[in-house]
Amino acid sequence: MSCSTAAGGAPRPAPEPSAPDHVRMGVGARLTLHPATDDFVPVILSALSAARATAPGVTVRTDDVSTLLRGSEQDVATFVAAGLEHAARITSTGHVVATLALSRGCPGEVGCDLPAGELVEVVPVHLAPAGLHASAHWALYPLGTADAMGPILAAIDTAQRRGTYGGAENFATRLDGDLADVLATVVDTWTGVGREVAHVAAHATVSVGSPSRRGDR
C-alpha cells in the first residue's frame, strides 16, 4: 500500500520542524533493477554500489523485492540515474529495466493535511546526460484530491516542453530520450505536483537497450 506505515507500522514521531524539506515531506523511492542476464546478482550489487558512491547522501535499504531510497529529490534522482546507467553498461546483453516508484507527503510519514504553506518548492534536478536512450511508461498519482487531472495535464505539458513526451498510452504516458532527461522529467513533474498536492506518487518502468522497437508486435 502506498501509505502502509500509517496502517501497519507503529506511529512515528513527527519530524522536527527544522528537519530538511525532504524529511518533513516524507520523500523517498523504491527502485528495482532488472538486468536481463544470467549474472544478475553481481550486476545489481555493482550498480547499487556505484550509485551509493555517486549519491552518498541517500539512505539505502535493499530487500528481496526492491531497494528503498531516502534522501533529497536531487540525491535520489542522482542515485537512480547512476545505478541504471552503471547496470546498463555492465550487463552483457545491454538490456536493463528499472521499476521506479517515487513518493512524497505520505500520511504514514508526515500528515497529508499539511497547510498550503508547507508545500515546498523543489528546484529541478540536474542529471548529466547519460548517452543512453531510455523509453519509459510513466504514471503520476496526485492523492487525496478531487482534481487529479489538473496536475496530470500540467505534467504532460512539462514533458512535451522538454521533448521527452513520447505519446499517450493506455494507463500510462510514454517518455523517450536520454536516460537523464527521462528520469528528470519523472522527478521534476512529481515535485511540481507536490507544490499543489501533499501526497503524490509517481511510477515509471524505464527500459534501456531493449531489442524490441516501439510498436513491435
Binding to a second copy, residues 18-77 (CB under 8 A):
28-30, 32, 34-38, 40-41, 61-66, 68, 70
- Helix, strand, coil percentages, rounded to 5, for the chain: 35, 25, 40
Contact (Cβ atoms closer than 8 angstroms) between residue 6 and residue 107: yes
Cell of 54: 555517486
Binding of a second copy by 143 (CB under 8 A): yes
Indicate the residue among 118 and 176 with the shorter CB distance to a second copy: 176
CB of 123 to a second copy, least distance (A): 23
Binding of a second copy by 161 (CB under 8 A): no
**Torsions phi, psi for 32 (to 5 deg):** -125, 125
Binding of a second copy by 119 (CB under 8 A): no
b/e 164-183 (16+ beta carbons within 10 angstroms → b):
bbbeeeeebbbbbbbbbbbb
Q: Which range in 80-88, 96-104, 122-130, 177-185 contacts a second copy by CB under 8 A?
A: 96-104
Angle in degrees, CA 65, 199, 104, rounded to 5: 50
d(C-alpha 139, C-alpha 99), whole Å: 12
CB of 31 to a second copy, least distance (A): 10
CB of 2 to a second copy, least distance (A): 4
Binding of a second copy by 155 (CB under 8 A): yes
Contact (Cβ atoms closer than 8 angstroms) between residue 174 and residue 99: no
Binding to a second copy, residues 171-190 (CB under 8 A):
171-174
Indicate the residue among 72 and 207 with the shorter CB distance to a second copy: 207
Q: If binding means CB under 8 A, how many residues of this protein chain bind a second copy?
A: 80
CB of 91 to a second copy, least distance (A): 9
Q: How would you classify the pairing of strands 59-62 and 67-70? A: antiparallel
Contact (Cβ atoms closer than 8 angstroms) between residue 199 and residue 108: no
Q: Which range in 6-14, 50-58, 82-90, 121-129 contacts a second copy by CB under 8 A?
A: 6-14
Indicate the residue among 54 and 145 with the shorter CB distance to a second copy: 145
CB of 89 to a second copy, least distance (A): 16
Contact flags string 97-116 toward a second copy, x per CB under 8 A: x-x-x-x--xxxx-------
> What separation, in Å, do the N-terminal and C-terminal C-alpha atoms of the chain show?
33
